[in-house]
Chains A and B, each alone.
Chain A
């Protein structure tokens, strides 16, 4: 799975989240901030994480989720890191 695949998956999740600015979502990039750029209430971040686990068939570590930033790239990093654990 490439970073673009993950970004596409995140966009798919966000398209169903009614509090997300759907116009801003059309211009989303790895540099976008879920809260500042997409209008997501901070309480909803955990929703995105849970749906990403479901979408990508992964289980994130609680420590990683607790430390997660609000940039789209942060979540992509987490997905990439979790699907290819360090040896």
Chain B
């Protein structure tokens, strides 16, 4: 059995963009989608940071009908563009609605008919990084602080906040009959779900998969990361996310969604589908060092080893890096890439520089950026990487250090601060998450007939 997996469709919800096309246009014209966020600004000194790549209800064509009993709790979200039926909106939080909108677009661009969508051979793998915080907060306020009965919130609290709410709502909307699951791996969730979906098709368990990651706009999620003092601070919004730059001070907490439609290659070819990319391989592992937060050079080296084993002759033209804009994370990632691929012959792209870190959606939204790089033959930039450090990182002076010895500035030529055109046939996508989880995928331009 030598099944290959094609990417045939995509959809997403992006900050300050109404479509994949608009998103792609802004990416390759070096625009930032990070803005000052009024929901954080009103919190004043309660929070360190107040910039985000956020998406309002209105920007996604949605509104809410708020409960008259529990303040801040939506009786239901409403779709102002009538894309999703009321019964599906009733069971959703904001992220699930984005998952459904993204999936509708992925199926539409993928060109699957009703029979294909509703098949036992079509599955769902979509996850989120966070819980249903924006649903749980008003729920618990109503119950514990205001003393309201549990039924005051209606019947949808569980469905809107459960771990696999995104996959569940998409499956109910599309009426797929294959597996429906959510993998959670923190900030590797988006790529992890696509990788899982790829394996389901490659190993013959499903023929088609709708896969991706979602992170619904949530001030509660933002507050959690703000508390860790790991968010960027001290820059204007558009300058805040600056992977690899020597003045980087943390990531920008952002939100979004992206879903792709995957299909076994021969099936896609047989129906004349437009093939956006072929997935060459996937590998995921753990650091195994017992550290919840710190990135691991050795863990990333083993990640590359696993990907290379899955993709013989791996030779990416672009590495779509995780590159969050944190001081240690970017350095370790750059050094692990250089040690694996050498000092020439590829570029490193850092999409978080333009829209921040979308957490559970990061891997899938950045996967769409990678698809756009293949399509447009342009490298998405590492915005704001104005100057790289010309002094060695502290980790490089440790006796235990086994990586490259040059300072980050020695690799400036690999990191374009602005979009550039070049021939791109293969891209490696990298994402990592808390808990020491790592994911890597290789995709290629489809050259076959």
**A interface vs B, CB < 8 Å?**
16-19, 41, 43-44, 46-47, 49-51, 53-54, 59, 65
Contact = CB atoms under 8 A, between A and B. Distances in A.
B65 A50 contact: no
**B interface, how many residues as a size bin?**
10 to 19
A34 to B, nearest CB: 14
A39 B440 CA distance: 47
Contacts of A18: 65, 76, 78, 86, 89-90
18 contacts: A17-B75, A19-B86, A19-B87, A43-B155, A43-B156, A44-B90, A44-B155, A46-B151, A49-B151, A50-B149, A50-B153, A51-B68, A51-B69, A53-B152, A54-B69, A54-B152, A59-B149, A65-B151
B154 interface: yes
A17 B153 CA distance: 14
Contacts of B75: 16-17, 47
Contacts of A49: 151
A74 B86 CA distance: 26
A50 B154 contact: yes
Nearest to A13: B68
Contacts of B90: 18-19, 41, 44
A66 to B, nearest CB: 11
Contacts, number: 41
A41 to B, nearest CB: 6
6 closest Cβ contacts across the A-B interface? A18-B86, A47-B154, A50-B151, A43-B155, A19-B86, A54-B69
B65 A16 contact: yes
A54 B76 CA distance: 18
A20 to B, nearest CB: 9
Interface in B135-161: 149, 151-156
Contact of B68 (A17, A41, A54): A54
Interface string B50-94: 000000000000000100110000011010000000110110000
Contacts of A17: 75
Contacts of A16: 65, 75
A26 B75 CA distance: 22
Chief secondary structure at chain A's binding surface: helix
Given A17-B75, A41-B90, A59-B149, 13 more contacts: A16-B75, A18-B76, A19-B86, A19-B87, A43-B156, A44-B90, A44-B154, A46-B155, A47-B75, A50-B151, A50-B154, A53-B152, A65-B151
Contacts of A47: 75, 154-155
A43 to B, nearest CB: 5
Contacts of B151: 46, 49-50, 65
Contacts of B89: 18
B97 to A, nearest CB: 14
B358 to A, nearest CB: 29
A61 to B, nearest CB: 11
A44 to B, nearest CB: 7
B166 to A, nearest CB: 20
Interface string B151-182: 11111100000000000000000000000000
A17 B90 CA distance: 10
Contacts of B87: 19, 41
A17 B89 CA distance: 12
A60 to B, nearest CB: 9
B279 to A, nearest CB: 39
Nearest to A18: B86
A51 B149 CA distance: 11
A74 to B, nearest CB: 16
Nearest to B77: A18
A17 to B, nearest CB: 8
Contacts of B69: 50-51, 54
A21 B87 CA distance: 12
A43 B75 CA distance: 13
Contacts of B68: 51, 54
A47 B151 CA distance: 7
Contacts of A65: 151
A3 B260 CA distance: 54
Contacts of B76: 18
B169 to A, nearest CB: 14
A68 B47 CA distance: 48
Contacts of A59: 149
A53 B155 CA distance: 15
A37 to B, nearest CB: 17
Contacts of B156: 43
B300 to A, nearest CB: 46
B168 to A, nearest CB: 14
